[in-house]
Amino acid sequence: MSTFEPPAETLADVVLVDYGLGNLRSATRGLERAGAAVEITDDPEAFAAADGVVLPGVGAFREGMENAGPLRDALTSHAEAGRPLFGICLGMQMLLTSSEEADHEGEGEVTGLDLVSGTNVRFEVDRKVPHMGWNELDVERDHPIVEGVDGEYAYFVHSYYAEPDDPDAVVATADYGVDFPAVVANEAGNVFGTQFHPEKSGETGLRILRNFVEYCAEQ
């Protein structure tokens, strides 16, 4: 039985970016339970009216960046204005500068949003790839998005993980034969992402989403 109590009122207006690769239904339900009024849209003008923007994602880095290409300037402007931008799974990887995935697939270099400097690399471990299932979160430093989740478990599905240029960009890690970033954030703290899926991570995920909604409400 769930111990998470939804807020009695809407705390923030959130845009969920629809670029063809997101788990929109589950993410919407999670955000609404966390106190957000959610608009699913690919209209860049909606970003300016929102308290925060969520960039979800399932699939390949190249396809993600190609699909989100028309929104690149709007996402970058939103982030550079100091407003909350939350990337989930592929959406988190898209926050970085590049990914080995396109090279691995023989598709050449693809440029990410470059809001968190670094690249995404493939797991080279003596374990099954993709990394799929529940894993423990180890919070490395304070950030509003990870309040109350140190030592809790979240649900991952991925073959690549972030390697930020700045070690301080790593907010939380998990272990899969190598310690990899489970949560990253830019220096200003307003751009952040989770490699795991909070909308599939039970009470831990709902806490993450509630942290995000409260962060949006405070900005």
Q: Which of 89, 131, 140, 214 is catalytic?
A: 89
The 3-state secondary structure of the chain, one letter per residue = CCCCCCCCCCCEEEEEECCCCCCHHHHHHHHHHCCEEEEEECCHHHHHHCCEEEECCCCCHHHHHHHHHHHHHHHHHHHHCCCCEEEECHHHHHCEEEEHHHHHCCCCCCCCCCCEEEEEEECCCCCCCCEEEEEECEECCCCHHHCCCCCCEEEEEECEEEEECCHHHEEEEEECCCEEEEEEECCCCCEEEECCCHHHCHHHHHHHHHHHHHHHHHC
User: Is residue 143 among the annotated active site residues?
Assistant: no
Is 187 catalytic? The answer is: no
Active site residue 197: yes
Write down the catalytic residue from 158, 197, 214, 216.
Answer: 197
**Per annotation, catalytic residue among 63, 152, 199, 214:** 199
Active site residues: 89, 197, 199
